Structure 1
């Protein structure tokens, strides 16, 4: 496998893992009350209240299973099919299979350690099928990977939905069928101006969440983010789409959500199948 494919394999897997974590529908902290009249100018109060209720229901589940797709354009162009299970409370743990760039990649996130498996990895791991990167030990050699996953682990996955509720830009589209279930479709759009105008005190966001959302929009040059959400009769989300437009890139995600609250089996691979790649990140071009 060429050095370029080494970078694509590891980078694509970790970025997809982090992006998926940020796109989930768990809910931690913040009030579930709808914004006061007049906080937003585009949405309707009933839709806002119903979406807030769905977020609360999802937040009580603690686990979810996800399948979907992610397409990015620009310098990090990638098309990926995703299948994952996530525990988002009391701590974030995930396992995911990704089909991207003609490769099949498996990722597991447990604590601060990422485990990766994909074809050709054995050239870096002395023949072992799994590599691990311990971000606590990697320090600066992990480069942007450490930053990405740090954000994912400290980021409430409902922040974008919460920001929509805070700005009041949520509307009901209508009744549709998702995965054989009747669901209500809601939509809204976050603009850079709306996000940067958010104050530190919001109905659905903590001050830290506001700061991180604003930092994300600034750092990535995000201009707008369109969000579509489908909620079933049990008040749990069954699909979420996010279309993010930045200065030089775009990201589109379509995630189908199921098995809320069901037991998930997430754990590190057997130790004898794992090679510690943490100390080799710089030598394979991961530092940037």
Structure 2
């Protein structure tokens, strides 16, 4: 019984970390190709025609809808959760992801890894978790069975965000009334133009009223996340390359539980993303484990 309760505590810790990471990725944007072709963010970009700041941001935001897969690294802080850093690869269609995250002060001795493969989520890859599960280092959650009998459900684990295109939220910067060009900067060898603006949640609510139903619903979910964090105004930065693709994105805000300050740098996009499930011998089914805890 002690072992089961301890494992539940460990799994809840990992789930919390996942939710934090997915919350962060769901609030950032990147660019895609207008024709959906494979693309990479490596190398110098072709110089784009000069545009007014608002037009440049709007063009990059429009391209975001074409993103189907991407790899990126992230670092920063989230109110109430503290500092974190990580790397991820994600495919929007079909849904798949692989994330490695380290959260400061969360009691782990290394990064937590999350994989989403064929409607199953795996959390683990951490030696500390293996100590609590008889040497097995991965927890598996069958997404179709999540939430049964009062156990952890997919939304609590943040899986609802996994199939979402996080690039769509980059359109929020286009809702700023004070977009300005900061200057030209090179990010990972890519020449970019840096833009900045400030938006409030009220500004964003007014903006999304004119959007189509599906896009409006996705953006409303993002606004609810910001409200939960206690952030009502954000300074947003976007580094756009010469092909109107976002290379880097930053968002900053203040809340009672601490600062929001996340920096996302995209490595590539619209490249194949292959995620494999951990070996079955190293995996414990989380849904079955939770049932045992509740019955105990």
TM-score (norm 1): 0.76
SS at structure 2 position matched to 1:269: coil
Partner residue of 2:89 out of 78, 82, 85:
85
Aligned position for 1:268: 277
Cα RMSD over matched residues?
3.3
Where structure 1 has 5 or more consecutive residues not aligned to the other structure, the ranges are 29-44
User: 1:169-184 to 2 correspondence within 5 Å?
Assistant: 169-184=178-193
Aligned position for 1:141: 151
Give the Cα–Cα distance (whole angstroms) in 2 for the partners of residues 284 and 228 of structure 1. 46
Give the Cα–Cα distance (whole angstroms) in 2 for the partners of residues 246 and 264 of structure 1. 35
Count of residues in Structure 1 that have an aligned counterpart in Structure 2: 265
Give the Cα–Cα distance (whole angstroms) in 2 for the partners of residues 7 and 199 of structure 1. 34
Question: Looking at both structures, which has the greater relative contact order when contacts are Cα pairs under 8 Å and sequence separation is at least 6?
Answer: 2
Aligned position for 1:127: 135
Partner residue of 2:101 out of 94, 98, 101:
98
User: 1:1-288 to 2 correspondence within 5 Å?
Assistant: 7-25=12-30, 46-74=52-80, 76-77=81-82, 79-88=83-92, 90-101=93-104, 102-110=109-117, 112-117=119-124, 118-139=126-147, 140-142=150-152, 146-147=155-156, 149-153=158-162, 155-198=164-207, 200-202=209-211, 206-281=215-290
Give the Cα–Cα distance (whole angstroms) in 2 for the partners of residues 173 and 233 of structure 1. 15
For residues 112-145 of structure 1, the C-alpha deviation after alignment (integer angstroms, 9 at most, x for no partner) is 43211212212443322221123432214226x6
How far apart are 1:167 and its partner, in Å? 4.7
Give the Cα–Cα distance (whole angstroms) in 2 for the partners of residues 238 and 158 of structure 1. 11
For residues 189-247 of structure 1, the C-alpha deviation after alignment (integer angstroms, 9 at most, x for no partner) is 22133234445213898331343234334333322222211112233221111224334
Q: Are 1:65 and 1:86, in contact at CA under 8 Å, matched by a contact in 2?
A: yes
How far apart are 1:184 and its partner, in Å? 0.5
How far apart are 1:151 and its partner, in Å? 4.5
Where structure 2 has 5 or more consecutive residues not aligned to the other structure, the ranges are 34-50
